């Protein structure tokens, strides 16, 4: 049985160690940041968004468990304007567990928690190069609201 459990401090430390370099690399791949500045910019964004770490207000960080095994995680922030909604900042499934439906289950379990919190909607950003994630989100009803495009010269 799969369940979402609030992230522990140890899990949060591992999340930060993994997520910051991955986020920096995505921005480099997308052409948004130079590699030389990417880690510093990523650290700053994470610190701005999570100023009290795991205890930052209106942020919900969960670990997905399949039985006793941690298989992934998700981070959502609740925003109050214009409607009470959630913004998903990070979704992650451990590589060894990918392709088994855990990502879909993770998203659906978060939707259930969001409904219990009285949220009107959930939003997220996905890098254009992440076709697997885009397919997952579209398959469970997420719609494209904005598109940014670029052409390398």
Closest by CA to 102, choosing from 143, 142, 70, is 70
Q: Give the integer Cα–Cα distance in Å for 12 and 115.
A: 24
Q: Give the integer Cα–Cα distance in Å for 31 and 38.
A: 11
The mean per-residue pLDDT over the stretch 115-131 comes to 92
pTM: 0.90
Per-residue model confidence as pLDDT tens digits over 75-115: 999 998 888 999 999 999 999 999 999 999 999 999 999 99
Q: Give the integer Cα–Cα distance in Å for 8 and 62.
A: 9
Write down the pLDDT at residue 147: 83
Give me the residue label for tokens 């919900």: 60
Enumerate domains of the chain plus CATH numbers. 2-139 (3.40.630.30)
């Amino acid at each position: 049985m799969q369940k979402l459990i609030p992230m522990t401090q140890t899990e949060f430390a591992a999340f930060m160690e993994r997520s910051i370099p991955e986020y920096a690399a995505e921005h480099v791949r997308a052409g948004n940041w130079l590699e030389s500045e990417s880690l510093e910019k990523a650290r700053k964004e994470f610190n701005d968004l999570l100023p009290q770490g795991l205890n930052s207000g209106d942020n919900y960080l969960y670990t997905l468990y399949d039985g006793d095994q941690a298989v992934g995680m998700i981070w959502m922030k609740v925003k109050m304007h214009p409607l009470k909604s959630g913004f998903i900042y990070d979704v992650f499934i451990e590589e060894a567990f990918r392709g088994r439906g855990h990502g879909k289950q993770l998203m659906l379990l978060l939707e259930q928690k969001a409904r219990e919190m009285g949220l009107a909607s959930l939003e997220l950003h996905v890098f254009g190069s992440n076709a697997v994630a885009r397919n997952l989100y579209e398959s469970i009803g997420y719609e494209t609201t904005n598109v940014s495009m670029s052409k390398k010269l």
